[in-house]
Structure 1
Amino acid sequence: MRWFVLLLVTTLSWSVWALDLQQAKQQGLIGEQLNGLVGAVTATSEVNAIVEDINRKRLASYQDIARRNNTSLAVVQSRAGQLNIERTPQGQYIQLANGSWRRK
């Protein structure tokens, strides 16, 4: 019986780590923000790790776009945020200007 509990706990913890961005968004754990980054709707260490990884990659991409277009990072982030929110499917979370989360 103990081995079964250990196996179950291990399997559950691996399934959380196996989440990708789309799965986390579909489960309501992560949402799109106005600044072009994602945020944790339900913060856990696993969700925060996904958010940090995605945002690191997005920021690098936004910085490259800003540099290539001779514009500010803030402009690129603002436009990306608008596009990401527009493209967010119904039922997933978006962050409002006041910081609260709402299902689209």
Structure 2
Amino acid sequence: MTRTITARIFGLIVLLAALAGWSVASALELEEAKTRGLVGERPDGYLGVVIDNPPPEVSDLVREINRKRLEKYEEIAARNDTSVTIVQQLAGKKAIEKTPGGMFVQVPEGTWIRK
């Protein structure tokens, strides 16, 4: 039963990520920021800033995308009668798995590593 719920939640995360309504410009900005090593995926399902003293536009981008992610995680959790924390953990695991080599991910201890 838990596996079925996890599979349903994961499917919804993938679908909502594709339909999240993020603009193409935001997606391109995010991809560039990841490629340049400015931001990376965290295990809690959110983006993190990798560098010290990031430019304001990088901080703004991360804040905006994380706000949208939280909205989607809350929707998924409510629809599946589960906690937001569970959804965040599943989303974080999947985002880190899908991160291409050479980009940054945060390990559970909080350190940033190049995948």
* Common topology (TM > 0.5): yes
- Residue 27 (structure 1) aligns with: 36
Task: Please give the alpha-carbon distance, in whole angstroms, between the structure 1 residues aligned to 2:109 and 2:55.
Answer: 22
Task: Please give the alpha-carbon distance, in whole angstroms, between the structure 2 residues aligned to 1:73 and 1:96.
Answer: 20
Indicate the RMSD between aligned Cα atoms, in angstroms. Answer: 1.4
Divergent runs of 4+, >2 A: none
Matched, 1:84 2:81: no
Counting aligned pairs with the same residue, the percent is 48
Residue by residue, what CA displacement relative to the aligned partner does 1:39-81 show, whole Å, maximum 9, x if unpaired?
0012332211010001000000000000000000000000000
Q: How many residues align?
A: 87
Structure 1: gaps (5+ residues): 1-18
More deviation, 81-90/40-49 = 40-49
TM-score by length of 1: 0.80
- Residue 79 (structure 2) aligns with: 68
Task: Please give the alpha-carbon distance, in whole angstroms, between the structure 1 residues aligned to 2:93 and 2:34.
Answer: 17
Task: Please give the alpha-carbon distance, in whole angstroms, between the structure 2 residues aligned to 1:34 and 1:65.
Answer: 18
Please state how far the C-alpha of 1:92 moved relative to its aligned partner.
Answer: 0.2
Give 1 or 2 for the bigger CA radius of gyration. 1
Pick the aligned partner of 2:70 from 50, 59, 78.
59
TM-score by length of 2: 0.72
Task: Please give the alpha-carbon distance, in whole angstroms, between the structure 1 residues aligned to 2:76 and 2:42.
Answer: 19
